[in-house]
Every structure is written in structure tokens, then in C-alpha cells.
Amino acid sequence: MGKEQKVPLLDKNGLRVDGRRLDELRPLKLEVGILDKADGSAYIEHGKNKILAAVYGPREAHPKHIALADRAVVRCRYHMAPFSTDERKSPAPSRRELELSKVIRESLEPAIMSEYFPRATIDIIIEVLQADAGTRCAGITAASLALADAGIPMRELVAACAAGKVEGKVVLDLSDIEDKQGDADLPVAFMPKSNVIGLLQMDGSLTEEEFKQALDLATDACRRIYDMQREALKQKYHVVKDEAEKEEVAEVKV
């Protein structure tokens, strides 16, 4: 390890290190229902982020004393695999992971109709297999699909994306190097139809004007991600439908 060389984050055409425009997302891939045992699951690739999310529940609260009489308890664990980062990360939960587990839970709970399941728990497990900046946002995007996949009634899907600032310009969806060398990072989780924000954090340096610009950029990107989430959910059932049709055809042939 040594000190990383500073590289220019914007080229002469105003494009970013990876060739993106200022308001362009990294490539995003979403898959729903990929784990067999979990009640709901989803996988996201966002840039080089590779993240799995699984949901168990609603199921009986265990231990019993955590149960609430008027709603389900939501439990959330955000964790990074030891091999997900440049330097090996200790598998023990860090303070950062504990904080993120909390803010991720608080961003998803407003979407869950937990009042339908008193005395139950809904468990959300997010495992970062490879980290590449913006893991909490990608984790939320995947976890909200896993909740939907588990059939848990939700007010709306939650989409999340970060905006930030590099070399004085407000940009969308920071990459790893932009996150490390940039001037600000603003992760946002947003429900587009209700027009509400469930997660908002910021570190770095922004003027009030830059903040407003970055917030608008992030919420706008969340709208786009929301459409991709819907598409990914539909995709799962398209496959089921296609297979059912094939089986029908096969049966007819026999």
C-alpha cells in the first residue's frame, strides 16, 4: 500500500474517469428470486458492486420478547464479505456496518406495511460480495426487490442512488475512485410515487445550492432505477409464464 496517485477525475470533454457523463449511472443489472431457501431474494450488479439481498418472513418473532403487539419487527443486517474490498475486511461487524444496518432499516421500514403482521419479524439480510462505492444504495435497491419477491405488502419499491461532487461539479453515482478523491458523497433512498426520502446522508463539502442540485440529481436517478426494479420483478414472472406455456405445449404433444 502506498499513497494512491491522484488522477484527474474529469477529462477535457467533461467526461469522467470511466467515460460517463456527469448525470449518467453506472451499468445496472437486477435479478429477482435467485436464492432457493429465502422467502425473497435479489441480486444487484451496480458498476463493480455485486450484492445479494435476502428476506425471511413475516415469521414468528424469535426471541419472543422482541415481538411488538401492533406491528412486525423489522431486522436488518448489512455486511461486507472479507474478500469484497482491496484489503481483507475482518468479518466481525464494524461500526460502519452497524450504522449502515440501522439507516438501511430506517429507509426500508417506511415502505413495508408492517402493521399487517403483529408479533412477527421480517428479516432483511444484505451481503456485499464485492464493493465498489455506493454499496448502501445498491443494497437498498436489492433489498426492496427481495421484500417484494417475498410477497410482503409494500407501499412502494424503494430505489436508492448517490450523487456527489468531483472537481467542483455535481455528479451522479460516484465510482470507487470518485468516492475516495471526490469532494462530497450524498446517498439517497427515494420512493418516487410518494415523493419521499427514506435515507439521506452526506459527507464532504457542499454549498446549499450544490446540495439542492445533487439532491435533485439523485432523486431523478432513483426514478430511473425504480423503472428498472419494476422491469426486474416482471421479468421473474415472465420466465415462470414462459415455462408454464412450454410445459402446456409439451403436455399437448403427449
Partner 1 sequence: MSVTHQLSPVAKLEQKTVHDLIVKGKRLDERNALDYRPLTIMLGTIEKANGSAQVYLGKTKVLAGVKIQTGTPFPDTPDEGILTVNAEFVPMASPDFEAGPPGEDSIELARVVDRGIRESKAIDLKKLCVQPGKKVFVVFVDIYVLDHDGNLIDAAGMAALGALISSKMQEFEVKNDELVFKDKIMPLPIRDYPVPITSVKINGSIVLDPCLEEEQVTSCRLTVTTGKDDRICAMQKGGLGVFTPDEVKQIVSTAISKSRDLRQRILSKVN
Residues that bind partner 1 (CB under 8 A): 1, 3-4, 66, 68, 71, 73-77, 95-96, 98-99, 101-106, 109-110, 114, 123, 186, 191, 194-208, 211-212, 215-216, 219
CB of 164 to partner 1, least distance (A): 12
Choice between 98 and 240, CB closer to partner 1: 98
Choice between 42 and 108, CB closer to partner 1: 108
CB of 28 to partner 1, least distance (A): 22
Q: Are strands 73-80 and 120-130 parallel, antiparallel or unpaired?
A: parallel
Choice between 89 and 105, CB closer to partner 1: 105
Choice between 138 and 218, CB closer to partner 1: 218
125 - beta bridge partners?
A: 54, 77
**Which residue type occupies 189?**
A
- φ, ψ for residue 179, nearest 5 deg: -65, -45
CB of 36 to partner 1, least distance (A): 22
Q: What are 155's three cell numbers?
A: 407501499
Secondary structure element (H or E) that encloses residue 136, with its range: helix 135-149
Q: Give CA torsion, residues 54, 60, 64, 67, to 10 deg.
A: 80
Contacts of 2 (CB under 8 A, 6+ apart): none
CB of 212 to partner 1, least distance (A): 6
Instruction: Give the SS3 label for residue 217.
Output: helix
CB of 3 to partner 1, least distance (A): 7
Instruction: Give the SS3 label for residue 155.
Output: coil
